[in-house]
Amino acid sequence: MEESGKKEKQTILSGIQPTGVFTLGNYIGAIRNWGKMQEEYDCAYFVADLHSLTVRQDPAALRKQSLDAFALLLSCGIDPEKSLIFIQSHVPAHAELSWILSCYTQFGELSRMTQFKDKSAKHADNVNAGLFTYPALMAADILLYQADLVPVGADQKQHLEFTRDVATRFNNLYGGAFKIPEPYISQTGAKIMSLQEPTKKMSKSDENKNAFITILDEPNVIINKFKRAVTDSEKEVCFREGKDGINNLITIYSILTGKTVAQVEQEFAGKGYGDFKLAVGEVVADKLAPVRENFKRYSADRAYLEQVYRAGADRAAAISARTLAKVKKKVGLAAR
């Protein structure tokens, strides 16, 4: 993200869709780390509202959820004094570059995207072109800011690979327009599983509300959901193949307490699943309490939110315009 021409820190960029309140999966796999990276990197984070249009949305709900998502990012520790933070649709360069990149993208490679296959099976009555070209928009998001690193959960890895492919292809044709970004996926917590079907990813679009924790759930709701979490018929709290439910709970507990898996196993040796589930619920409720408190404050302050997202959009527009101008020139679009 070169603004002044001189550059020292690497650039981090990531986004999140505003469909529904963020889950514990989003928090552990992605956002929790975003705030921590602000000191070391030049960071850009955004609400990916254009991506959400690939699934039919209620307009009033989407508008509200986008503002809530913006307030949630602030609540999770993203500081607008340190990071660039904006709403994707406020920056037209994303849609423009997405179109150009889609002309350098093959039908075959988009057909192989697992998210496209999953979502088109799930929304069989609305397999729209946007759902198909979604990766080109995501590539545009990343490449516009010349990002070095993209912190995401494991489910986004294939989209990152596509981004690298399309950027390399473009660079080979026209000479270095884009930095080739690296995915930044943590070793643990990159895939938090459903509490009800622990072989499936925890997802905010799950119809079973007990399957996921939202980061605004009240403590008693969190604890009850963990009490109901599906585990197995054994008794031992240990991380082992086949114990998907317990493995997921150990992962969550270990990440949020900073303890190793071995320390967690030791802590609960000889104790039952009931005690363990309660302990996990309590830690999660505890960690999310400040986020909930911050959200109350930010979401009530509409004027502040407006000021922050407008300033973010202006800065994002200035940075992205540079890459877009370079690309337009390279592909032969006439200058204005």
Question: Which residues belong to the active site?
Answer: 119, 201, 204
Please report, as ranges, the residues that interact with ligand TYM according to CB under 6 A: 13-17, 25-26, 28-30, 48, 51, 138, 141-142, 150, 152-153, 155-156, 190-192, 201-202
CA distance 21 to 215: 7
Q: Nearest residue to ligand TYM, using CB?
A: 29
Query: Which residue, 13 or 264, is less far from ligand TYM as judged by CB?
Result: 13
Type of residue at 151: P
Angle at the Cα of 115 (from 214 to 252), degrees rounded to 5?
Answer: 35
Identify whether the C-beta of residue 57 lies closer than 8 Å to the C-beta of residue 9. no
Query: Which residue, 47 or 308, is less far from ligand TYM as judged by CB?
Result: 47
- Which is nearest to 230 in space by CA: 241, 247, 245, 242? 245
Q: How far is the CB of 153 from ligand TYM (least distance, A)?
A: 3
Q: How far is the CB of 301 from ligand TYM (least distance, A)?
A: 24
Q: How far is the CB of 271 from ligand TYM (least distance, A)?
A: 26
* Residues β-bridged to residue 84: 44
Q: How far is the CB of 334 from ligand TYM (least distance, A)?
A: 29
Q: How far is the CB of 159 from ligand TYM (least distance, A)?
A: 6
Angle at the Cα of 222 (from 26 to 228), degrees rounded to 5?
Answer: 105
Query: Which residue, 137 or 279, is less far from ligand TYM as judged by CB?
Result: 137
Query: Which residue, 75 or 333, is less far from ligand TYM as judged by CB?
Result: 75
Query: Which residue, 51 or 243, is less far from ligand TYM as judged by CB?
Result: 51
Any residues with CB less than 8 A from the CB of 3 and at least 6 apart, and which? 315, 318, 319
Q: How far is the CB of 6 from ligand TYM (least distance, A)?
A: 25
Query: Which residue, 76 or 308, is less far from ligand TYM as judged by CB?
Result: 76
